[in-house]
Structure 1
Amino acid sequence: MQSCELVTLVSSIACCLAKDRTAEEIALLSCVFNQLGDTLETIAAHRVLCCSDDKNGNIDDDIFFRF
């Protein structure tokens, strides 16, 4: 998928989600998806910085729960 196609897809999804919703509902959806994006970014950064890869390329993200 090309960059412009991805942008168009995301914009189309946003328009579909916003259809027939109130401004308050759209604001809540925005907050939820912002939090989702931030959480995914945190998980990705954690994996890069803190997790080891084994020989098979599997990520050991249980390191977060070890004390």
Structure 2
Amino acid sequence: MTALELTYFITTVSNLIAKDKTEDELTLLSVMFTQLGDTLATISVLIDTDSE
């Protein structure tokens, strides 16, 4: 998948998720996905650190 295809896919999924959601629901989802990304980044760093 190219960078352009990936960004297109992410935008499409975001639009599908956002459909018919309230502002409060979107805010909560945004925070949840941010935490998910941050946690995955932390795990990745820890895996890299353990490999050294």
Same fold by TM-score greater than 0.5: yes
- Compare the two structures and name the one with the higher helix fraction: 2
- Compare the two structures and name the one with the higher strand fraction: 1
* TM-score, normalised by the number of residues in structure 1: 0.74
Paired positions, count: 52
Superposition CA RMSD, Å: 1.2
| Partner of residue 28, structure 2 | 28
Amino acid at match of 1:44: S
The percent identity for this pair of structures is: 40
Unaligned residue ranges in structure 2 (runs of 5+): none
Deviation at 1:36, TM superposition (A): 0.2
**Poorly superposed stretches of 4+, deviation over 4 Å:** none
| Partner of residue 44, structure 2 | 44
| Partner of residue 59, structure 1 | none
Unaligned residue ranges in structure 1 (runs of 5+): 54-67
- 1:1-27 superposed Cα distances (whole Å, 9 cap, x missing partner): 000000000000000000000011000
**Higher-Rg member (1/2):** 1
